Amino acid sequence: MKDLLRVADLSPEDLADLLRRAEEFMRHPLAAHDLLRGRTVLLYFAKPSTRTRISSETAVARLGGTPVAVGPAELQLGRGETIEDTARVISSYTAAVIIRTFADQDVRTFASAAQVPVINALTDGHHPLQALADLMTLREHVGDLRGRKIAYVGAATNVTHSLMEAAAPAGLSIAVATPPAYAPDPAVEATTRKLSTGGDLLLTGDPLEAVEGADAVYTDVWLSMGDPPEEKAARVAALSPYRVTAELMSAAGPDAIFLHCLPAHRGEEVTAEVIDGPRSRVFRQAANRLPTVQAVLEALL
């Protein structure tokens, strides 16, 4: 495997190895401190980021390298240099590239032209690094994920897609409750079904059906960075019945935890009572972004 562009790029063995290694990096942060000595990793972020950007820069430092972070205004890409030329040139300087942008096709184009590993740090369609931290956090709560269940409630997003694709090789059942207009991409649904190793995939319009027996309830923002801002009012109207409330949490399993990739909007997709309450693991989940990206960098290098 040269790149990590979506979770479906990972075999069940790759996924298990990454999670195991991330758990080791959590305990021993400097376990591979010489891997990137004298080398750089480019971070290109065309959208804002708190967790992914800072955890990735820190992971590069922990592996002994130097992160080089640039935005769209700083590269000649913004003046029309092609993605392919940019990828070829950057490959001659850096050990790997971590990219957050809009269209998934742009990251695929970059990765095909690059001679170094390329990691998707969030596109409109996928957020594979997030899904690794999500599974790591759930494993900390329940141990082996086989036979367990996660429920996602809200608008299907890049985060939902990567979670679905991660559940499949992990043997984790996933139920996704969305209004019909904000359902997951049918292509991701098909991939998830194809890659399933025993877990179920349920797509429903009913949040109560989705959370029944779940070990975790997950949500994400109702308007993602790649969505048109003028959709906000329609989304709030359609998604209000999908807010994660204390009542919805009590319909899940008695030990169910609450997960959210963050940033969160209290009072929209989740109430403050839930995200700031005793079942919430969102800050542990955010902390797990660091050892997971460290594991990905090590595996690809």
Active-site positions read 100, 127, 130, 220, 261, 289
Binding interface with ligand CP (CB under 6 A) = 49-53, 122, 130, 261-262
Give the closest residue to 165 by CA, choosing from 134, 202, 209, 196: 196
Distance from C-alpha of 299 to C-alpha of 129, rounded to nearest angstrom: 13
What's the closest the beta carbon of residue 48 comes to ligand CP, in angstroms?
6
Residue whose CB is less far from ligand NVA, 36 or 107 = 107
Binds 208, which of ligand CP, ligand NVA, none (CB < 5 to 8 A, cut-off by type)? Answer: none
CB neighbour list of residue 190: distance below 8 Å, 6 or more residues apart: none
Q: Beta 173-177 vs 149-153: how paired, if at all?
A: parallel
Residue whose CB is less far from ligand NVA, 64 or 226 = 226
Task: List C-alpha distances in Å: 141 to 26, 52, 135, 250, 259.
Answer: 15, 23, 10, 17, 11
Residue whose CB is less far from ligand CP, 243 or 289 = 289
Binds 50, which of ligand CP, ligand NVA, none (CB < 5 to 8 A, cut-off by type)? Answer: ligand CP
What's the closest the beta carbon of residue 133 comes to ligand NVA, in angstroms?
11
What's the closest the beta carbon of residue 201 comes to ligand CP, in angstroms?
23
Binding interface with ligand NVA (CB under 6 A) = 122, 157-159, 220-221, 224-226, 261
Distance from C-alpha of 116 to C-alpha of 2, rounded to nearest angstrom: 8
What's the closest the beta carbon of residue 5 comes to ligand NVA, in angstroms?
16
Binds 204, which of ligand CP, ligand NVA, none (CB < 5 to 8 A, cut-off by type)? Answer: none
Residue whose CB is less far from ligand CP, 47 or 235 = 47
